[in-house]
Structure 1
């Protein structure tokens, strides 16, 4: 990202992600959460559907195309989180597989889970 959080490069699940310039021990990662205006999204899906070499994958085709054309802005997850008193880092889990989804649900059964579903400062609606 640049200084204004415009995404200037996108690599899906790199083996060795580059560090953030101001925090080299951390890396930015796509959380798979995207916000689009409906018209723009439909345009991108139609464009991708007409592309013969596309694998029809958001992370491999659609998002990289949007980034290359200068229309993607990052949201820094850590800056928008309300942390519970026992949390040192915001809670996030990749639930892209059945096993990962199961593990994330089991995490909630801990006596003091990392994600407190009853935290009044961070309601879940």
Structure 2
């Protein structure tokens, strides 16, 4: 499974890359929403793992931009946040399959959630 992992903090991005690669995923990283958009327009990903608190675009704006560019091809998204509560996930209708994971989390939790959203995307009825 090919993941796009997006976080503007280099150390966290490196840790996620290492953890997910060791869990058997093919990982591509991006340091910002605009970088993630450019990558997602150039290749396909199975799941996007995305920090919420980033600049210049936060995770929700990044998903809005990805949805505008990719439409129904938008892969499922796992939002990561240090906020103790689930923030308002953008309403993109049926186009967005998403999960929300609060930091800190165990690597096994992240792997499990990635599997859940990937299965949900595979089981989504096609138009």
TM-score, structure 2 normalization: 0.26
TM-score, structure 1 normalization: 0.27
Q: Which has the higher helix share?
A: 2
Q: Which has the higher strand share?
A: 2
